[in-house]
Amino acid sequence: MGRRAPALRAVDAALDAWLRLRGVPRRLDELAAQPPRRRVLAVSADRPDSERIDAIARELRAGRHDVRLELGSAAELRGGKFQNLNALLETRGDEDWILVVDDDVLLPERFVDRMLGVCEHFELDLAQPALTRASHGAWQVTRRRAGPLARQTRFVEIGPVTLIGRGPAAELIPFPDLSMGWGLDLHWAALAERRGWRLGVVDALPVRHDLAGVASSYSHEEAVAEAQRFLADHDFLPASEANETVRELD
């Protein structure tokens, strides 16, 4: 972000104030109270120098749902992101939701309760919180917007935070044997269209992902090459269509 970061953080602060002015936190809490207590498996492969994993763990444990955390050291697991996640997901049981969280995000308060409330109210099967304006990211569709509570989209990213419902989890997990996983979300989008899964981005619960840039801890060239090999053998939504919003959800 460089020189733009202060201005973008100011935009985020203004959008946060706008949410409060509109009474959105109260609306989120109303939705959060609706679902019965759910079983959630939250997984994250954290790095030894992670500055945020402790705060992430506290927030994930703070709600009323039955959240089981599987946190594994990336240094000990020694694979790429999705190889490490597969190792952590070997303990998966009969959870209602799978939550995949990178170790370098800041989650908004009451995140799990509110996220599940929104997703279940709007019948989303695969979803993610929007990214703040100052976050690193490659897709405009995942950037927070001022108007809607959430949006039904054609695309949900593989990270930094992804919520996977029971139906998609049965088909998507274990993940393919990929290291970085670029292109996997475009394949998910194609599967979603065939299966009738509802995808969504929750604008009212933006997460901060601003510590390091995309591909800062691995080779950009290797990530692109892996994506090209994977997508050569799998259906996928063209990137030109991934930024489309189907409808706003309020």
Domain 2-249 has CATH 3.40.720.10: no
Write the pLDDT tens digit of every residue in 159-191.
999 999 999 999 999 999 999 999 999 999 999
Distance CA 218, CA 214 (A): 9
pLDDT band of residue 212 (cuts 50, 70, 90) is low
Round to whole Å and give the CA distance between 190 and 43.
Answer: 24
- Three-class DSSP category at 57: helix
Q: Which helix (H) or strand (E) holds 247?
A: strand 245-249
Residue written as token pair 């759910």: 38
CA dihedral over 15, 21, 27, 30, signed as positive or negative: positive
Provide mean pLDDT across the span 12-31: 97
Strands 97-101 and 39-46: parallel
The residue-averaged pLDDT of 42-48 equals 90
- Segment 120-169, tens digit of pLDDT: 999 999 999 999 999 999 999 999 999 999 999 999 999 999 999 999 99
- pLDDT of 53 reads 95
Strand, helix or coil for residue 67: strand
- Per-residue pLDDT averaged across 218-237, rounded? 94
DSSP secondary structure code for residue 106 in this structure: B
Rg (CA), the chain: 17
Q: How far apart are CA 173 and CA 82, in angstroms?
A: 10
